[in-house]
Amino acid sequence: MDIVGLMRTLSSATGISGYECALAESVRQAFQPFADEFSVDTLGNLIALKRATRPVAGVRRSIMLAGHMDEIGMIVKEVKDGYLRATDVGGIDFRTLLGQEVVVHGVRDLPGVIGARPPHVLAATDYEKPVPWDQFFIDIGLPADQVSELVHVGDLVSLRREFIELAEGHVSGKAFDDRAGVASLAVCLEQLSSLQHSWDVYAIATTQEETGLKGATTAAYGINPDIGIAVDVGFGAQSGVAEHESIRMNAGPAIAIGPNVHPKMQARLMAVGDLNEVPYQKEVIPGASGTDGWAIQVARAGIPTAVLSIPLRYMHTTVETLNVKDIERAGRLMALFISGLDEAFAADLGL
Amino acid sequence: MKALIKELVEAFGPSGYEEQVAELIRAKAQAVADDIRTDNLGNLIVLKKGTGGGKRVMISAHMDEIGLIVSYIDKKGFARFNPVGGLPISTMTGARVRFANGTVGVIYNEKDGWAGPGSLADCYIDTGATCPEDSPVQIGDVACINRPMEELGPRLTSKAMDDRIGCAVALQALLELPASPNDVYFVFSVQEEVGCRGAMVAAFGIEPDVAVAVDVTSWGDTPQAKPMAIELGKGPAIKVKDGGMLAHSGVKRWMVASAEAAGVPYQLEVLIGGTTDAYTIQTARAGVPTGCLSVPTRYVHSPSEVVDYNDVLNATRLMVQMLANPISW
Amino acid sequence: MLLKTLSEARGVSGNEAAIREILLPAVEPFIDEHRVDALGNLICLRKARRERVAGGSERVLVAAHMDEIGLIITDINSDGSLRYAKVGGIDDRTLLSKQVLVGEKAVPGVIGFRPIHLIGRGGLEKKADISQTVVDIGASSKESAARLVQVGDYVTFRTGFEVLAEDGLRCAKGKAFDDRVGCAVLVEALQGDYAFDLYAVFTTQEEVGLRGARVAGYRINPDIAIALEGTVCDDLPKEKDADVTPVTQLGHGPAVSYRDSSVICDKNLVRLITETAAAEGIPWQYRRSAVGGTDAGALHLVREGVRAAVISVPCRYIHAPVSMVSLNDFDNAVRLVKAVLTHLEGGLEA
């Protein structure tokens, strides 16, 4: 699989939380060759089903894989004198917004910039504090009357950033959180197509993770899988972040350890990695993982859940950076894990 | 000489807009000058030729004063402005300004008037206008502080002592100068307050053998003043150092020797901040031995700068002594 | 479109060669001589094409600076990330979350920041600590990074040029409009026929102290100098809707300076410019501020002094990774500069 190409496609598409439907089509195309059927639920989750290739008679078991397709963005809250004021959807450090380019999804898509007042006119004290939220303006370079016609309060604003390739297999762009997870599901499905598996696989590109794990909550209830894995991004080692706060780049997905994770799921994933020489690392998450896994785990009567993290630098900025090898490793680890699922493991989990 | 000083300090001439001052000086210098010209930046250059064998001397006194320039007129007719030169915020609230067309305005600040404004950006000019349309001043118009000269006993106070008092000393010295071997270029320079720009290009053109700036200097003789060994009434100051330059030691010796020869009291000056035309003259072309003759002045850059009249007379006597004789050190 | 090419080209102060290589072929058909001086200025001469008017100007210098603000690599860390310093006046706060290109090979990189999730309570209210940031080119070790970049490599923002609307204000976004707009205006102005020798100087190192213009001005010793600039435009709504100067306004025409921090413009030249604009029906505005310096600051002080002025195209978000101009203002600046040069034939009132 051309993971770089897939990431380029997924990163370039727009899908702010709650408005993922245009993006879902790109995801469907990525999953299409490897899936048996598709459905979209009421919250917009894109659900791809790959049926078991060697089903066990009399039992029908399934695993749910979740990677969220929504991205952070902004929403217009005021149109003022031809400029737009906006607020964030999903957690943006607004200090990273000065001098960013955006697309305003008004009557039509309108490119714009978030302006910074020039240093020439700033007082020395201005530099010592961040620009206040209400002094951020989106400028689409149109006369005020035209702006009022084309843009309205509530219109979405996505961050605009071209996907680029860096050295040593690193790539950078926007919305890698969590299109990287979605890409790893595609890799997993592709790998499974040359493996046998006894359980049905639901690969789900979930919605509204950034605004409270909404998509995963309803998808897990609707599908009611036997087990689940959430793939999200983790804090990759970077300048300004201590070693104990981060996981290593290009060292494989991190398998989470903590209350969000069923210990036997975590142990099996590590065993599969060790056996097949898939590099992985361990990440201790002492409470809420902040991933879809947190919702899946408590769906209906409870679901044994694991969480994988793909190392990502500069999370929630427009220059999120990762190594595509880690996406491949996450996908492969899940595929190998799935092909080994059997009734003994189900029994072990108490299913 | 008081009438001359009054005329000069009350004239209009913020940096870049010195024409009125130049006209005034030109009219008075005409009779004794061998040549008068105005250069590309507006410097007035008056040559008093020598009898031969002497040096080519440049005297520089700047015509410009600090002021302001209108940058914006708001919907209610208040004018915002940018400073021209170092306009101290502390003396601006309630100050009056005058534009070239005679319009008078009052400066106030948008913050509480008692607490004082934070910066000049908080200040505006009230010209009596109620909207941009009836504003008597426009964007780009320039104003100076509006204060007439008054006598305080032996002292004089006014706006723009900096550096019309230097202009007065140089002009008076020109008028009194007897025949001497030296070619003396009296430069009444422009744009000192924004970076000694006029003197820089004048010095390039004149290529002097030696140069002396005439300007005001700071003071140390008022309550809680910053320590400085300069007092009003103790004679003109011969500069050793300021914030921008070290006076040429030979020039300094020549000035000291001249003061002693003429029996003029003098003070040696070390100024911590600020500088004069000497700063840019010194590095013109391949370099010029340069010094500075200073008139001790209180409250520099405020609307009420104060000098001692005797210091002014003595500065003039010293300059005449310096220029009338062969120069050596 | 030349402006697009110039905007996307890379030339931080001290490293303007790439810009020169674009400009020279663009102006070559219109000039009689050119030279590149010791500081890298591209000095072009278009000789008088018409008879000189008695008392008219002989040598007119028009300058636009080629250099842009940017960064420079100061060290390669052991983890393969790059330390950097700013070249020219940049607000630190605009550096976060940006793509950049490093060195002659234009190696792509990013400047990231600590994830919002790891910023504690109250942290968002503090200024971001820029010293924690690096340029990340994806290299994992010092050795690996050193194969791609080296200390001293210049860094530019990776920002594309794009016209946002073909009608109305005709805004375009891009980087380095300060002063590639001036360069593009000058290329156009060079195509007119004037009655004096026109020296078009594409200067270097403006952003670090007007250094190119100073030596070019000394060499040419012109009668009159005009700097063409991309200038500050601060016309966004202000805090508490304060009614204060926008410096310039986008779409209101080229800006004419009465002064800036580096020069008090020659009054008669300013009058000639504004009267020319009025006579030709070209919209114009004053640049209503004293902040910022321009090549005119260096040019008016060369030798015995030169009468100088500045004509600018307003640029919103100047010195940021992305800025905006109105192509209407650009076109009007071209018209104005050409008309001013024509009117200068009769000389300038003393």
CATH 3.40.630.10 positions along chain B are: 2-65+159-324
Residue C28 phi, psi (nearest 5): -50, -40
Could you say which residues from 142 to 171 on chain A have a Cβ atom under 8 Å away from some Cβ of chain C?
142-143, 146, 161-162, 164-170
Q: Render B217-229 in DSSP notation, one character per residue.
A: E----STTPPP-S
**Residue B114's pLDDT is what?**
67
Looking at beta carbons, which residues of chain C come within 8 Å of A250? 140
Looking at beta carbons, which residues of chain C come within 8 Å of B202? 304-305
Q: Is B115 a residue whose pLDDT tops 70?
A: no
For C318, the closest of A118, A131, A164 (CB atoms) is A118
In 3D, which of C8, C344, C26 has the Cα closest to residue C202? C26
DSSP-derived letter for residue A125 is G
Catalytic residues of A: 209
* CA gap C297, C217 in Å, rounded: 11
Whats the size of chain B, residue-wise?
329
Q: In which element (H, E) is residue B38 found?
A: strand B35-38
C259 touches chain B (CB under 8 A): yes
Pair C339, C280: CB distance under 8 Å: yes
Q: Tens digits of per-residue pLDDT, A246-265?
A: 999 999 999 999 999 999 99
**Residue B112's pLDDT is what?**
66
* CA gap A309, A280 in Å, rounded: 10
Give residue B221's identity as a one-letter amino acid code. D
Q: Which CATH number do you get for residue A150? A: 2.40.30.40
Specify the number of domains making up chain A. 2
Closest Cα in chain C to B79 = C244
Q: Tens digits of per-residue pLDDT, A66-118?
A: 999 999 999 999 998 999 999 999 999 999 999 999 999 999 999 999 987 88
**Residue C240's pLDDT is what?**
80
CATH 2.40.30.40 positions along chain B are: 68-145
Q: Is C132 a residue whose pLDDT tops 70?
A: yes
C209 touches chain B (CB under 8 A): no
Instruction: State the smallest CA–CA distance between residue A254 and chain C in angstroms.
Output: 18
pLDDT classification of B116: cutoffs 50, 70, 90: low
Pair A67, A205: CB distance under 8 Å: yes
Catalytic residues of B: 192
Please report the beta strands in C170-280, taking only residues with DSSP state E, as ranges in sequence order.
171-174, 197-203, 224-233, 255-257
List the Cα angle C201/C205/C211 in 5-degree steps.
80
pLDDT classification of B32: cutoffs 50, 70, 90: very high
- Are residues A63 and A77 both part of a single domain? no
Chains A, C: CB pairs < 8 Å: 223
- Are residues A186 and A54 both part of a single domain? yes
For C288, the closest of B41, B139, B204 (CB atoms) is B139
**Pairing state between β C171-174 and C162-163:** antiparallel
Adjacent-strand bridge partners of A228: A64, A305
Structure tokens at C207: 């952003």
Q: What is the distance of C-alpha C130 from the center of its chain?
A: 25
- Are residues A232 and A314 both part of a single domain? yes
Question: Hey, what CATH class is B2-65+159-324 in?
Answer: alpha beta
A172·C144 Cβ contact <8 A: no
Average pLDDT of span A314-325: 98
* CA gap A151, A157 in Å, rounded: 10
Residue percentage of chain A with pLDDT more than 90? 89
Among A159, A184, A215, residue at a domain's last position:
A159
List the Cα angle A313/A92/C116 in 5-degree steps.
50
Peptide bond into A178 cis (omega under 30): yes
Whether A191 is in a domain gets the answer yes
A82 touches chain C (CB under 8 A): no
Q: Which CATH number do you get for residue A40? A: 3.40.630.10
**Residue A266's pLDDT is what?**
96
For C304, the closest of B16, B69, B205 (CB atoms) is B205
List the Cα angle A203/A207/A212 in 5-degree steps.
120
**Pairing state between β C255-257 and C307-316:** antiparallel
* CA gap A92, A87 in Å, rounded: 9
C288·B72 Cβ contact <8 A: yes
For A239, the closest of C89, C134, C169 (CB atoms) is C134
C145·A113 Cβ contact <8 A: no
Provide the 10 A C-beta neighbour count for residue B192: 31
Considering all CA atoms of chain B, what is the largest pairwise distance in Å, rounded to the nearest integer? 65
C113·A96 Cβ contact <8 A: yes
**How distant, in Å, are the alpha carbons of B20, B64, B67, B185, C225 from that of B303?**
20, 15, 10, 31, 36
DSSP-derived letter for residue B300 is T
C320·A140 Cβ contact <8 A: no
**How distant, in Å, are the alpha carbons of A80, A83, B116, C329 from that of A134?**
11, 12, 28, 29
Pair B54, B36: CB distance under 8 Å: no
The dihedral formed by the CA atoms of A209, A210, A214 and A215, expressed in degrees to the nearest 10: -30
Mutate to test the interface with B, among C249, C256, C288, C306 (most CBs of B within 10 A): C288
Please report the beta strands in C218-329, taking only residues with DSSP state E, as ranges in sequence order.
224-233, 255-257, 285-287, 307-316, 323-326
Q: Tens digits of per-residue pLDDT, A194-203?
A: 999 999 999 9
For C304, the closest of B71, B139, B204 (CB atoms) is B204
Domains of chain C, by residue range, sit at 2-68+175-346, 70-157
* CA gap C277, C271 in Å, rounded: 10
Average pLDDT of span A39-58: 95
Provide the 10 A C-beta neighbour count for residue B152: 12
Q: What is the distance of C-alpha C105 from the center of its chain?
A: 23
**Residue B117's pLDDT is what?**
63
Q: Tens digits of per-residue pLDDT, C203-251?
A: 999 999 999 999 999 999 999 999 999 999 999 888 888 888 999 999 9
Helices (H), chain B: 2-10, 19-29, 161-176, 197-206, 249-262, 278-281, 309-324
In 3D, which of A261, A288, A220 has the Cα closest to residue A43? A220
pLDDT classification of B134: cutoffs 50, 70, 90: very high
CATH number of the B68-145 domain: 2.40.30.40
Considering all CA atoms of chain C, what is the largest pairwise distance in Å, rounded to the nearest integer? 73
Q: Tens digits of per-residue pLDDT, A138-147?
A: 999 999 999 9
For C138, the closest of A96, A119, A167 (CB atoms) is A167
Looking at beta carbons, which residues of chain A come within 8 Å of C8? none
**Residue C349's pLDDT is what?**
80
Q: Tens digits of per-residue pLDDT, B138-153?
A: 999 999 999 999 999 9
The helix-helix angle for B161-176 and B2-10 (nearest 10°) equals 140
Mean pLDDT of chain B, nearest integer: 95
Catalytic residues of C: 206
Pair B229, B266: CB distance under 8 Å: no
**Residue A170's pLDDT is what?**
98
* CA gap A82, A96 in Å, rounded: 23
Whether A266 is in a domain gets the answer yes
Tell me: domain C70-157, CATH 2.40.30.40, correct? yes
Closest Cα in chain C to B76 = C243
Looking at beta carbons, which residues of chain A come within 8 Å of C158? 162, 164
* CA gap C105, C120 in Å, rounded: 39
Whether A167 is in a domain gets the answer no
Give residue C274's identity as a one-letter amino acid code. T
**Residue C239's pLDDT is what?**
80
Instruction: State the smallest CA–CA distance between residue C294 and chain A in angstroms.
Output: 12
Range of the domain at A140: 73-159
Q: Tens digits of per-residue pLDDT, A214-225?
A: 999 999 999 999
In this complex, the chains that touch A, judged by 3 or more CB pairs closer than 8 A, are C
C112·A314 Cβ contact <8 A: yes
Q: Supply the Cα-derived Rg of chain C in whole angstroms.
A: 21
Looking at beta carbons, which residues of chain C come within 8 Å of A131? 93
Average pLDDT of span B196-207: 96
Average pLDDT of span C11-38: 97
- Write down the CATH superfamily of domain C2-68+175-346: Zn peptidases (3.40.630.10)
**How distant, in Å, are the alpha carbons of A118, A151, C182, C186, C337 from that of C189?**
28, 39, 10, 5, 7
Q: Tens digits of per-residue pLDDT, C146-200?
A: 999 999 999 999 999 999 999 999 999 999 999 999 999 999 999 999 999 999 9
Q: Is B118 a residue whose pLDDT tops 80?
A: no
Q: What is the ipTM of this complex?
A: 0.88
